[in-house]
Amino acid sequence: MDFATLSERIATGRIGRTLSRLVPATAIWEREWDVCCVLDGCRLDLMCETAAAGHEALPGPEAVDSLWSVGSQSAEWMDRTFAPAYREEMARTAYVTGNPFSSQSCEHILVTSDDVLPLTDADFGVFHEAWRDDWVDDDISTIPPDSLTDAAIAIWRRREELGIDRVLVHYMQPHAPFRSEPGWFFGAADIEHWGQIDAGDEDAVDASAEEELDLEDLTPEEREALEAFAEADDDDDSMNDPWLRVRDGDLPFEAVWAAYRDNLEWVLDDVARLLENCDGRVAMTSDHGNALGEYGVWSHPPGTPVPALRRVPWVVREGADRGTCEPALPDAIREGGGTDDADASTGRGGDEPEEDDDVESRLEALGYR
């Protein structure tokens, strides 16, 4: 066994999970902010690089601070960020999220508890799962940042009426899929494997392929992606994660890094809009980074103490509401907070089986299934 394989097994195994608990992590509640933007999967060095390039939403790179995240994966971050110890802070906070883990029990993730997920309306002053209504399946399957920014601005302007004094916005970028490389994310999405074919119903996939799929109608990029998917080992999840494809030599690092940075610029363009429409202290951070082979680790497995995953950006800017946009409150939010048509016990409305299918689909698109 080579050193990289050995160190990866240690970092992501029982020893790593134990060490991960000892990392001197900082919950976001311990910092001062009015609006906090969580940029999912953003490495510290990527933020510094983008700041050095002069993005308008960021200060100079010398002003990009950092903190140690409470988790190395989104569900783990939610589990510890929204722990019972922070109920008082959460009750005064609006949580606008594009991350579908908000509705998952995550009992399959060993480092999460049974006390937090799934989240419900009762956990927050206002709870808005933007991914339920604003997910798109276009060139890539994801939730673009603009609808989350609109919701955050509208909520912040009505904070007194809604009974909250903070807004936490969980954007999905710079997490894959990457808008600049849709060909890397072929097929319909399932929320954990953004942009990948949903393998949850193999019979339906096979039937549709026999009846409708004509290889002559595919573009060269689609054909290449389909062939790669067909040849992939069923036990190998690298097709669902660009970082694992870099590890396996399927994608060049430079190209993936460029697409990763473009996704960060995509969300930062919208954060810039938020900064000019919200008065107050606006923070930017991340739930976790992405490992690029450090200690043999790639991507963002849970319970991993590797600094590339756990040391995330912390940037603070002062927002000034210039009224450059006038978004309305999302239809799902009542004037007094909460979600329309939601069952009070679950935080959801409608037919749960269909919604569960949507959740699984979107999590698969993100690369988690």
Q: Which of 228, 246, 261 is nearest to 292 (CA)?
A: 246
What is the chain's alpha carbon radius of gyration, rounded to the nearest angstrom?
20
Would the pLDDT of 198 be above 50? no
Distances (CA, A) of 208 to 201, 212, 213, 225, 229: 11, 6, 7, 18, 16
At 322, the pLDDT band (50, 70, 90 cuts) reads: very high
Would the pLDDT of 225 be above 90? no
Q: Find out whether 69 and 36 touch, Cβ atoms under 8 Å.
A: no
Q: Which residue blocks in the chain are alpha helix, DSSP H?
A: 3-12, 14-22, 44-52, 74-81, 87-91, 131-134, 146-157, 159-162, 202-212, 220-231, 242-247, 253-275, 307-310, 352-366
What tens digit of pLDDT does each residue of 323-333 get?
999 999 999 88
Would the pLDDT of 119 be above 80? yes
Evaluate if pTM is beyond 0.95: no
Q: Which of 278, 286, 289, 287 is nearest to 317 (CA)?
A: 278
Q: What is the pLDDT of residue 340?
A: 42
Would the pLDDT of 194 be above 70? no
Count Cβ atoms within 10 A of the Cβ of residue 367 and give its class: 0-12 exposed, 13-18 middle, 19 or more buried: buried
Distance separating alpha carbons of residues 72 and 186, to the nearest angstrom: 26
**Between residues 366 and 321, which one has the greater pLDDT?**
321
What tens digit of pLDDT does each residue of 291-308 get?
999 999 999 999 998 999
What tens digit of pLDDT does each residue of 345-359 get?
344 444 455 566 666
Would the pLDDT of 205 be above 50? no
> Would you tell me the crossing angle of helices 44-52 and 253-275 to the nearest 10 degrees?
70
At 163, the pLDDT band (50, 70, 90 cuts) reads: very high
Strand, coil or helix: 348: strand
Dihedral sign from CA coordinates of 225, 231, 234, 237: negative
At 233, the pLDDT band (50, 70, 90 cuts) reads: very low
Question: What mean pLDDT, rounded, does the chain reach?
Answer: 83
Q: What is the pLDDT of residue 21?
A: 72
Q: What is the pLDDT of residue 357?
A: 64
Would the pLDDT of 18 be above 90? no
Would the pLDDT of 148 be above 80? yes
Would the pLDDT of 17 be above 90? no
Distances (CA, A) of 271 to 30, 81, 112, 161, 205: 22, 22, 30, 24, 39
**Between residues 191 and 27, which one has the greater pLDDT?**
27
Distances (CA, A) of 165 to 35, 90, 122, 158, 162: 9, 10, 16, 10, 9
At 344, the pLDDT band (50, 70, 90 cuts) reads: very low
Distance separating alpha carbons of residues 189 and 187, to the nearest angstrom: 6
Q: What is the pLDDT of residue 176?
A: 96
Q: Which of 149, 96, 129, 125 is nearest to 335 (CA)?
A: 125
DSSP string, 287-313: S---EESGGG-EE--TT---HHHHEEE
**Between residues 243 and 4, which one has the greater pLDDT?**
243
DSSP string, 100-165: GGGG---TTSTTS-SSSPSP-GGGSSEEEETHHHH-EESSSEE--SHHHHHHHHHHHHTHHHHT-S
Would the pLDDT of 368 be above 70? no
How remote is the C-alpha of 18 from its chain's centroid?
Answer: 24
Q: What is the pLDDT of residue 224?
A: 59
What tens digit of pLDDT does each residue of 207-222 get?
333 344 555 666 675 5
What tens digit of pLDDT does each residue of 55-71 get?
999 999 999 999 999 99
**Between residues 153 and 334, which one has the greater pLDDT?**
153
Over range 145-164, report the average pLDDT: 98
